[in-house]
Amino acid sequence: MNKANTLIAKQSLEEAADWLIRSQEAPLTNEEKAQFKLWQEANSDNSKAWLRVQRLMGHVETLPKGVAAAVLNRPDDESRRFAIGKLALLLAAGPTLWGGYKAIEVQQWTADYRTAKGEFQEITLPDGSLVKLNTATAFDMTFNSRSRLLSLREGEIEIRKAQVDPQQFGPFLIQTQEGTLTPLGNRLTVRQCDGFTQLAALNGQVQAAPKLAQNNEMMTIKPGHQAQISNFKLLSSQLISPTTTAWLNQMIAAHDMPLKQFAEEVSRYRKGYLRISPDIENIMVSGAFPTSNTDTIINMLTHTYPIKAKHHLGGYWVTLEPA
Amino acid sequence: MPHNADPRVQQSAMHALYSDNHHWLYTWIRKRLDNHFDAADLTQDTFLRIHARQDVDTITQPRAYLMTVAKGIVSHFYRRKSLEDTYLEYIALFPDPVTSSQEQQQIILQTLEQIDALLNELPRHVKTVFLMSQIEGKKYQTIANELGMSLISVKRHMKQAYVQCLTLMEEDFFE
């Protein structure tokens, strides 16, 4: 290839960059569009420079963003090798050094968090983000300069993302059994349900990539919306219902919820078995109930609805029947 | 020494360079790598690179020359290796959303290598601004807020990154 053929005047390349930046800032006005056309036609270097812009942007746009961010943002080779060395040292030193991460500036943190049935916890991640864990929840965390990844194994979490230096921490990602979520805002809840993921975008949008979506399609969940996602697609999306977020205040909120479904909710928090007689499973339950004590909930039900509770096995097994 | 286009002259000069320095160069590269198969490959690559230039007969300081070429090849090797490692690590963490077919993966990896090469020489903060804009899809004002710099600086960095990419892209780049 003869290099002289491909040489484009530096000025044309700089002007092409200016036009590109202008068009990325805001759509060009008609007047600007006319100016741009004049510029492009002014000489062959300008038009060649613009073709080059289009070729560059074409390639940048085809890249899957997650992997591109991780790869292109990877630490410089020197610091990367250094970081690996430091991590090995830290691991060799054992868990006593765990709290010292800030001083050592090790580049990766991992940890597992878990709550038992009926437990509720709030924790702070190494980047300052806050996570609330609802009952029977488990997630793993892997933080490094490429990404901040939470893998939700079971249960339900709320994340309040901290503002961080993007050079130190990569984008925040949440992985569930169904796919990967990227919160663009700073607050959301995610629940691993049986066979689907439920999320609520409390602040800012969330992008969801179901793991088997056609063409690796990404879905956007708008702020203020909750959505259900399967392995393949967005199942549904609607405005956030108070019942979805009541757990943050350690409550179950029900609005005309069939007793059968209500009992399933209560069971998430309750050690033991709660059985509903088929005769009453369609009673509609409304109200707010504290999750910290499920016996209280059962008492509230028996006082409000035509229901009685039979306790067996020292309260481990409870059956609700028509009164 | 003037350049001699006679292929026989090039051939015999190359032969001499290779037999005098092959073992020395292999040892030099080996010390910089963890693995001797790679070292043997990179030693070959260095000689091939020099052979392709067809100017062996003009070399007056063979070892200094070999070392300069080999340094470039070793550093490129490390860069490529760290890129591939990061890529593989990432697709192991997120197997499905990113790529489906082997072929698709190769295309993505190749494009990443090319863009990485374009961005390689940029100062770190310029590269960060570019990636936030083009990969994370953030607006210039958002980037300015997040990095605590002025909008003008963000635009200046973007321009520097674009001009760098456009300048380094020859017509067959990305092909």
Question: What per-residue confidence (pLDDT) applies to A98?
Answer: 32
* pLDDT bracket for residue B86 (50, 70, 90): confident
What ipTM describes this predicted complex?
0.74
In chain B, positions 153-172, which contact chain A (CB-CB < 8 Å)? 155, 158-159, 162-163, 165-167, 169-172
Domains of chain A in start order, with CATH, are 3-62 (no CATH), 110-243 (2.60.120.1440), 250-322 (3.55.50.30)
- Asked if B104 has any chain A CB less than 8 Å from its own CB, the reply is no
Q: Least CB-CB distance to B115: which of A17, A59, A167?
A: A59
- Asked if A29 has any chain B CB less than 8 Å from its own CB, the reply is no
Sign of CA dihedral B135, B141, B147, B153: positive
Using a CB-CB cut-off of 8 Å, the residues of chain A touching B126 are none
- Give the pair of three-digit tokens for residue A177: 């059994």
Domains of chain B in start order, with CATH, are 1-94 (1.10.1740), 99-175 (1.10.10.10)
- Asked if A142 has any chain B CB less than 8 Å from its own CB, the reply is yes
Distances (CA, A) of A130 to A63, A121, A122, A197: 31, 11, 7, 20
Mean pLDDT of the region B47-60: 80
Question: What per-residue confidence (pLDDT) applies to A110?
Answer: 64
Partner-chain contact B82 A56, CB within 8 Å: no
Beta bridge partners of B64: none
Angstroms from A254 CA to nearest CA on chain B? 35
DSSP code, position A139: E
Q: Least CB-CB distance to B82: which of A52, A77, A175?
A: A77
DSSP string, A60-123: HHHS-HHHHHHHHTSPPHHHHHHHHHHHHHHHHH-GGGGGGHHHHT-S-EEEEEE--TT--EEE
End-to-end CA distance of chain B: 37
Q: Which of A2, A51, A59, A231 to mutate against chain B (most B CBs within 10 Å)?
A: A59
Amino acid at residue number B83 = L
- Which of A24-28, A83-87, A201-205, A286-290 bottoms out in mean pLDDT, i.e. has the lowest? A83-87
pLDDT in tens, A102-144: 323 334 556 678 888 888 999 888 888 999 999 989 988 888 7
